[in-house]
């Protein structure tokens, strides 16, 4: 079902409620350490301003308690947002009630107002109808540009559309097009790379991908659960013994469907979990007791690279090792290079999930990928094929 987007509505002279995902990281002095999520919403905000709208921004930061801790206040975003937009951003000390209502009523076309943290009200996460109605009453129409929370049915994204027309912003539209359309109409060969620590976090993704892809690369900590399920020694490596049966079932399902599964053939092992650990590279069936695998080896990287050669669609979620330590980042870097090369040769590539995005950033290859998703959990659930309440609530074309 096609959803309405920003260009399907007339915003001139209107007050527009825009749900954004500004849940950005801060340092101890409340300086923003990564503003990617803010930067990605600028095309939507600038389009609205250029087309004569008054823009009311709503977002959440962190998980505040009833105490409304100051560190979660959106006022800490105002200065940087003003710099990004090159105009003064107004701020309201609440997101509903008299202060928010007055600030919204006074807002003129071409002006921007940022509301206080939505999650200072527990009604936001409960998708409380009365709270959603109060938010909606501030504006004439709504734009949802917060893909990162679209897997949650909250008042600001799933509730507001019941009261005012809500369309996708440019960032949301891009996420839906890239992830949704790519999954539905993928070009083959289609390769999925699933890494990260735990199988339990990615069961749904692996299961859904086996139905769609030609090849699935399994790396990172979760590969040890598959190896152990096959009876290989894994030493002290991260592992989920309660997932052995599941790992075997997934391998069997892939085999039945003719999907090639690529697992590590060699591993970089360490005598402790530390940046300065003693390391050596061993074949996958020769991990000694007392040692743990923290990265894939050179031969594995060659196998992964070979599996990605000629791919037309690539989806990557999760790093290949403990990339935070330079000694164990080589496997992830090798995959990033291979995905970048496939993209250069015409593949559509999507990287999603918090760790994958951070790992990709470290490799310096972010701009060589077709689409880097802003959602963490949202991207995972979208890749699993689950219905996303925030997307479902958008107006249909």
Residue pair 315/189 in contact by the 8 Å Cβ criterion: no
Residue pair 268/219 in contact by the 8 Å Cβ criterion: no
What residues form DSSP beta bridges with 54? Answer: 15
Closest to 181 measured CA to CA, from 391, 341, 335: 391
Q: Are strands 112-114 and 54-58 parallel, antiparallel or unpaired?
A: parallel
Q: Is 377 a catalytic site residue?
A: yes
Can you tell me which residue has the tokens 């990615």? 202
Residues in CB range of 10: below 8 A, 6 or more apart:
none
Distance (Å, whole) CA 126 – CA 10: 31
CA angle 204, 207, 208 (to 5 degrees): 85
Structure tokens at 178: 């890239």
Structure tokens at 299: 């031969």
Q: Is 133 a catalytic site residue?
A: no
Structure tokens at 380: 């995972």
CA angle 15, 16, 21 (to 5 degrees): 145
Q: Is 253 a catalytic site residue?
A: no
Task: Please count the other Cβ atoms lying within 10 Å of the Cβ belonging to residue 317.
Answer: 27
The active-site residue, picked from 148, 169, 221, 354, is: 354
The active-site residue, picked from 62, 110, 180, 377, is: 377
Structure tokens at 166: 């809500």
In degrees to the nearest 10, what's the CA dihedral of 171, 172, 178, 179?
140
The active-site residue, picked from 37, 40, 243, 330, is: 37
Distance (Å, whole) CA 222 – CA 211: 20
Residues in CB range of 166: below 8 A, 6 or more apart:
141, 142, 143, 144, 160, 393, 394, 395
Q: Is 354 a catalytic site residue?
A: yes
**DSSP label at 179?**
I
The active-site residue, picked from 162, 198, 362, 368, is: 198
In the 3-class helix/strand/coil scheme, how is 94-136 assigned residue by residue?
CCCCHHHHHHHHHCCCCCEEECCCHHHCCHHHHCCHHHHHHHH
The residue count of the chain comes to 397
Dihedral of alpha carbons 12, 162, 386, 360, sign = positive
Active site (catalytic) residues: 37, 198, 354, 377
């Amino acid at each position: 079902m096609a959803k309405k987007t920003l260009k399907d509505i007339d915003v001139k002279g209107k007050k527009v409620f825009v749900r954004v995902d500004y849940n950005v990281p801060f340092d101890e002095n409340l300086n923003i350490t990564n503003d990617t999520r803010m930067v990605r919403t600028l095309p939507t905000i600038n389009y609205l301003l250029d087309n004569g709208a008054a823009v009311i921004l709503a977002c959440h930061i962190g998980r505040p308690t009833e105490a409304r801790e100051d560190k979660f206040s959106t006022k800490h975003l105002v200065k940087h947002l003003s710099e990004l937009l090159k105009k003064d951003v107004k701020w309201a000390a609440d997101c509903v009630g008299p202060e928010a209502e007055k600030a919204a009523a006074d807002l003129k076309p071409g002006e921007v107002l940022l509301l206080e943290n939505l999650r200072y009200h527990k009604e936001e996460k409960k998708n409380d109808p009365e709270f959603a109605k109060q938010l909606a009453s501030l504006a004439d129409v709504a734009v949802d540009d917060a893909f990162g929370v679209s897997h949650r049915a909250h008042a600001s994204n799933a509730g507001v559309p019941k009261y005012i027309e809500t369309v996708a912003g440019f960032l949301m539209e891009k996420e839906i097009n890239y992830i949704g359309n790519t999954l539905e109409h993928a070009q083959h060969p289609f390769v999925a790379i699933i890494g990260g620590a735990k199988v339990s976090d990615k069961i749904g993704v692996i299961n859904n991908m086996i139905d769609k892809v030609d090849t699935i690369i399994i790396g990172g900590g979760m590969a040890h659960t598959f190896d152990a399920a096959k009876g290989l020694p894994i030493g002290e490596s991260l592992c989920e013994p309660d997932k052995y049966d599941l790992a075997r079932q997934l391998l069997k399902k892939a085999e039945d469907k003719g999907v090639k599964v690529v697992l590590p053939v060699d591993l970089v092992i360490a005598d402790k979990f530390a940046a300065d650990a003693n390391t050596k590279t061993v074949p996958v069936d020769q991990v000694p007791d007392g040692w743990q695998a923290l990265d894939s080896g050179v031969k594995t990287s060659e196998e992964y690279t070979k599996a990605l050669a000629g791919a037309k669609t690539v989806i990557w979620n999760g790093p290949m090792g403990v990339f935070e330590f330079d000694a164990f980042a080589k496997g992830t870097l090798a995959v990033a290079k291979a995905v970048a090369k496939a993209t250069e040769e015409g593949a559509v590539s999507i990287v999603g999930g918090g760790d994958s995005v951070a790992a990709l950033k470290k490799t310096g290859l972010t701009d060589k990928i077709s689409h880097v998703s802003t959602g963490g959990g949202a991207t995972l659930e979208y890749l699993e094929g689950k219905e996303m309440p925030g997307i479902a609530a958008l107006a249909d074309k």
